[in-house]
Amino acid sequence: MLTVYLLRHGETFYNADGNRYCGATDVGLTEKGIRQAHSAAALLKDLSFDAIYASPLQRAHITAKIASGTDSVITDDRLTEASFGSWEGKTRAEFVSEDPGLWNSWAAAPDHTRAGGTGDTAMEVVERVDDFFNQKQKEHPDGTILVVAHNAVNRFYMAWKLGMPLKNYRQLVQENSAITLFQLDENAEFSLLKLNAG
């Protein structure tokens, strides 16, 4: 059974500025975000990980290094945050007022609607993240790993594994640098043990 400690990165400058959508934009951590990563490190300090993985975007990669207390972090493009197309850098209120129809399409059917018109669909995200975790289950069948990724990526994957419609992904809240714990067995069956532990 693979045990996964899953984190969302610490607070970014976009998160702090009216919760602007970061998406695939490489936005840095605030001082608060760095403190959040150190808080995660305190919670994880007594654990031993077989490997530490992170999205290559700096907010996740730096959070992973701080939270794990090591520079031995393996980046994987499959963990990169969903691209939100024209919505990146904007608040939801801003881009909804620009094109409410596009937001309504995304909210109703993110599975096959491109975020921001040109970004990812939810299924594209799920497929790459699911591929990542299935591979890691085979590489570490009885191991424990730390994975640091992003809000949409993490929530889409968990919603999918829990059998939820992907349009309900926002019902799973992932706080910055909070710890989510799940397991995957040899059949890739998913068990959610903790959400937003702190």
Residues that are catalytic: 9, 81
Evaluate whether 25 touches 8 at the Cβ level (below 8 Å).
Answer: no
Q: Helices (DSSP H) in the chain: which residue ranges?
A: 13-16, 31-44, 58-68, 92-98, 100-108, 122-139, 151-161
Distance CA 138, CA 100 (A): 43
The single residue listed with the structure tokens 């907010």 is 59
Query: Which tokens is 26 given?
Result: 């490489």
List of residues 6+ apart from 94 with CB closer than 8 A:
none
What is the widest separation between alpha-carbon atoms in the chain?
49
Q: Where does residue 164 rank: exposed (0-12), middle (13-18), buried (19+ CB within 10 A)? A: middle
Query: Which tokens is 86 given?
Result: 């024209």
Strand partners, 181: 5, 194
Distance CA 187, CA 177 (A): 29
